[in-house]
Amino acid sequence: MYSFPIETGENIIKKGLVSLQCDGEAFSGALYLTTERLVFVGYLLDITHKYMEEVPLAHIAELTKGKSLFVIPNVLNVLTIKERKLKFVVKGSGEWFDEINRQIQIIV
C-alpha cells in the first residue's frame, strides 16, 4: 500500500507506521529510513490521494526527541536546512533517533 521510488544503490534500513504533523496538517502513513533519506508516504482521505514527504539525510539540520501529550516519549522532530519543521509520532522513537543519526554520520 505504501510505496515510493528507490534510487540506484539506495537501501531501506528501517520502516514503521507513523503520524506526521507539518504545515498545520496531520497525516497517517509509513516512515522509511533509507541510506540516503527519510521518506513519509501517506494518503489523504482515501487511497487514491497519495501524500509523500522526503528529506535527504544531508538536509537534516536538527533531529530531536519529543513527547506527545507532554508525557509519551514517541516524537521525532526534524528541522531541515530550509527550516521546514516535521513532527513524526512513532513507536520506538529512541531507536529511530539513533538509527537516523547513525546514517547521517555515514553520509557526512
pLDDT in tens, 49-58: 778 899 999 9
Has residue 3 been placed in a domain?
Answer: no
Q: What is the pTM of this model?
A: 0.90
For position 20, what pLDDT does the model report?
A: 92
CATH number assigned to the domain comprising residue 17: 2.30.29.30
Has residue 4 been placed in a domain?
Answer: no
Please, what is the Cα angle at 24 between 99 and 73, to 5 degrees? 35
Rounded-to-10 torsion of CA 31, 37, 41, 44: 110
Domain around 103:
12-107
Query: Is the pLDDT score of 48 beyond 70?
Result: no
60 or 49: whose pLDDT is higher? 60
d(CA 57, CA 35): 8
Number of domains in the chain: 1
Q: How far apart are the first and last CA of the chain?
A: 32
